């Protein structure tokens, strides 16, 4: 992996575009977020019609994210395919243990490669960036198993550089908040079901309609909802009638208790519930 903090944005741009040059063709796993959008744009700028983007469609992916991916692909000009995935049919995924992401990404890459069977591509790439490598991310292990490459990480681009490049390339998601899959909102050990995923998606859509654009509704045992919004928006959540409307709507959706997390929004907050694990854990034979 290449790291050099003294490079300019232009040099990182050249490095990323050059990464694609040796390939005859390329497929990009496009999620609708900024990382994979930059990868798709770089692939298209280098390879043109020899690049294709694929987006998963499943109950664990919010409809808004699929629409964002379609919009990004259209903006870039890259050919875009939707691929149905059924990770939710896998009992190992449903169990929602800390390796859930491994089973999801395994299904994702399998289905994408099957989808491409009639038009073989040289390489399948994802949006993992250099900053992702430090956190506990079993999905990275699944990528390795399928020889999926991560151009951003390999070129040393972290999140800040990715956003700068996305803005430079006029991508509509350059400042879009991170939005992991809906299953990431369900506390480990609480089984993932289509009903729970739909509850979370509808709850977050309701809160976004109240102009809380960066929001998580975490689901804990007993169908307890733990709402996370940025710390500076906690006061607005508690104003006047708003919090009563939120409680009423979430209870209508099936949540038993509705709580507001006073620490505010933070990525990976459910990982705080995990024991420390060995790097690369877990793998299943």
* Domain residue ranges of the chain, discontinuous segments joined by +: 9-168, 182-266
* Residue 20 pLDDT: 98
- pLDDT beyond 80 at 102: yes
d(CA 265, CA 259) in angstroms, rounded, equals: 13
* Residue 274 pLDDT: 55
Give the residue among 124, 123, 97, 121 at the shortest CA–CA distance from 108: 124
| Contact between 225 and 218 (Cβ < 8 Å) | yes
* Residue 248 pLDDT: 98
For residue 15, the surrounding DSSP H or E stretch is helix 9-20
- Quick count: other Cβ atoms within 10 Å of Cβ 8? 8
Q: What is the DSSP letter of 186?
A: B
Number of separate helices (H) and strands (E) present in the chain:
11, 7
What's the pLDDT band for 217 if we cut at 50, 70, 90?
very high
* Residue 132 pLDDT: 87
The whole model's pTM is what? 0.89
What dotted CATH number matches 182-266?
3.30.70
* Residue 271 pLDDT: 66
What dotted CATH number matches 9-168?
3.40.50.620
Give the pLDDT confidence of 149-188 residue by residue, as tens digits. Answer: 999 999 999 999 999 999 999 999 999 988 889 999 999 9
For residue 241, the SS3 value is: coil
Average pLDDT of the residues in 117-140: 88
* Residue 1 pLDDT: 47
What's the pLDDT band for 135 if we cut at 50, 70, 90?
low
d(CA 210, CA 227) in angstroms, rounded, equals: 14
Give the pLDDT confidence of 56-81 residue by residue, as tens digits. Answer: 999 999 999 999 999 999 999 999 99
Whole-number percent of the chain with pLDDT over 70: 91
For residue 127, the SS3 value is: coil
């Amino acid at each position: 992996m290449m790291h050099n903090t003294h490079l300019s944005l232009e040099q990182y741009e050249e490095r990323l575009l050059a990464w694609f040059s040796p390939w005859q063709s390329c497929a990009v796993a496009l999620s609708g977020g900024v990382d994979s959008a930059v990868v798709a744009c770089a692939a298209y700028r280098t390879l043109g019609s020899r690049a294709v983007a694929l987006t998963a469609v499943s109950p664990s992916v919010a409809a808004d994210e699929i629409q964002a991916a379609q919009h990004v692909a259209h903006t870039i000009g890259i050919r875009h395919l939707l691929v149905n995935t059924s990770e939710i049919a896998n009992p190992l995924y449903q169990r929602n243990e800390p390796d859930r992401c491994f089973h999801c990404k395994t299904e994702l890459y399998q289905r994408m490669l099957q989808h491409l069977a009639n038009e073989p591509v040289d390489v399948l790439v994802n949006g993992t960036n250099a900053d992702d490598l430090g956190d506990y991310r079993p999905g990275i292990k699944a990528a390795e198993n399928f020889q999926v490459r991560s151009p951003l990480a390999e070129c040393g681009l972290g999140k800040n550089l990715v956003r700068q490049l996305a803005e430079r390339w006029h991508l509509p998601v350059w400042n879009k908040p991170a939005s992991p899959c809906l299953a990431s909102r369900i506390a480990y050990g609480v089984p993932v079901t289509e009903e729970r995923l739909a509850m979370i998606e509808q709850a977050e859509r309701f809160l976004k309609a109240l102009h809380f654009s960066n929001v998580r509704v975490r689901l804990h045992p007993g169908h307890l909802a733990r709402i996370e919004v940025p710390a500076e928006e906690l006061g607005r959540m508690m104003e006047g009638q708003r919090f009563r409307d939120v409680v009423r709507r979430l209870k209508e959706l099936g949540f038993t208790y509705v709580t507001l997390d006073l620490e505010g929004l933070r990525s990976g907050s459910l990982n705080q519930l995990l024991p420390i694990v060995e790097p690369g854990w877990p793998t299943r034979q």
